[in-house]
Structure 1
Amino acid sequence: MNDCGCDKARKDLEEYLRNEVCKTEHSDIREHLENCPACRDEALVATTLTAVVARACKETAPEELRDQVLSRLRAEQATHH
């Protein structure tokens, strides 16, 4: 195993979570996360945040809100022309 301390694990955490590190590094980071509660917690926060952002990007605004925003945009455009 390479030296995979907290600094290394945290530096490469995003790439690790997206499976963008080589297999050797992936194994080293996974092993570190299994044995380091602080880094494991950081990985959980990153994973949760990524999932929440992805879910939010799939949501759509209610039609009434959409209509209000478009109406205000049109009113602003009309006053600036």
Structure 2
Amino acid sequence: MTDCGCEKARQDLEEYLRDEVCKTEHSDIKEHLATCDACRDEALVARTLTDVVARACRETAPEELKNLVLARLRDAQAAH
């Protein structure tokens, strides 16, 4: 294994976090993140953001809110 460096780690970070890189690249990026605070911080932010977005996509709005939004959309369409 060889440390791939900041440029390569950041270039492939999204694919790395989704396990879409080959084993060799995965190992190299993992090694780099273990030794580079800046890239590790960037990876933490990216992983946290991805997790929050995924969690938000699983949530559903309350029925009352859905009805309110739809009513306002209908009102706006009727006004035009």
Superposed pair shares fold, TM > 0.5: yes
- Residue 27 (structure 1) aligns with: 27
| Letter aligned with residue 37 of structure 1 | D
* C-alpha distance in 1 between matches for 2:76 and 2:17: 43
Q: Counterpart in 1 of 2:75? A: 75
Runs of 4+ in 1 over 3 A off after TM superposition: none
* Equivalent AA in structure 1 for residue 61 of structure 2: A
Residues paired across the two proteins, number: 80
Structure 2: runs of 5+ lacking an equivalent:
none
Query: 1:10-66 CA deviation, whole Å, 9 max, x = no partner?
Result: 010001111111111111000000111111111111000000000011111122211
CA-based RMSD of the aligned residues comes to 1.3
Write the distance in 2 (CA, Å) between the matches of 1:3 and 1:44. 19
- Tell me which amino acid in the other structure corresponds to 2:63: E
SS in 2 for 1:48: helix
Supply the AA of the counterpart residue of 2:48: T
- Structure 1 stretch 43-52 or stretch 1-10: which is displaced more? 1-10
Consecutive unaligned residues of structure 1, counting only runs of 5 or more, are none
The whole-number CA distance in structure 2 between the counterparts of 1:9 and 1:20 is: 13
The 1-side partners of 2:69 and 2:7 are apart by 45
